[in-house]
Structure 1
Amino acid sequence: MVKDLKAATRRKNRVRRALRKVATAGRPRLSVFRSSKHIYAQIIDDVRGHTLAAASSNEKDLRTRTGADVDAASAVGKLIAERATQAGVTDVVFDRGSYIYHGRVKALADGAREGGLNF
């Protein structure tokens, strides 16, 4: 368990280090957290340290679905894109954390792109 946690932390730090190099000043980060039952997304302004928009499969209007499938992740992606455009954000940097860009993480990213976010 400890070995897996160290590897996940290393992967997450490697992805974030690459994002800092690519991200321009003022471009927020779309961060993804995936648990066994739900998926969560936040748009974070790292310059100010504020969360601009957030969405999850645990919210009331999305609770009718199972939060651990690709359809729910796509719905969360569309919801975070809608909330981001309301907050005035269109361009973001995608932060997948320590997760592989596959399955639910990819579905969330595709849903966010369909909703109008550029990354």
Structure 2
Amino acid sequence: MSHIVDYLIHDPLGNVEGQLGDYDPVRLEEAEKNGMVFIAVMDDGERKLVKAADVSEPKQQNQYFTVAKPEYVDERTRATVAVFDAVAAIIDPQPATADETGEEVAQADPVAAFRAALDALKELEANDD
């Protein structure tokens, strides 16, 4: 059976909502009288409308939020983009180019570049433990 892990408060007029942090019954009733809507968030992701009188602070069920640092996200984004760039080079190879002297510039093997980029992304995932 699912259980409540969080509550949201929704303002239909402003079309905004946020995580409920104040569980004072008097304030909840007043908010409801002023048109606010309460939404219970279940552990399985389901959401249910509830009355202010039914709202109580949820018990923590060992569900903690992990905050990711921007560097963590940036590193993984760069690695993911590198994989897609390598796939694009395989799908749509570019013609050979020459440098200023007219000599052909050596191009990296697109399949090897893909494998290297994918390995780098997998390495990031493996180190998340």
- Whichever structure has more helix as a proportion of its residues is 1
Higher relative contact order at CA 8 Å, sep ≥6: structure 1 or structure 2? 1
TM over 0.5: no
Place the TM-score, normalised by the shorter chain, in its bin: under 0.3
The TM-score normalised by the length of structure 2 is 0.19
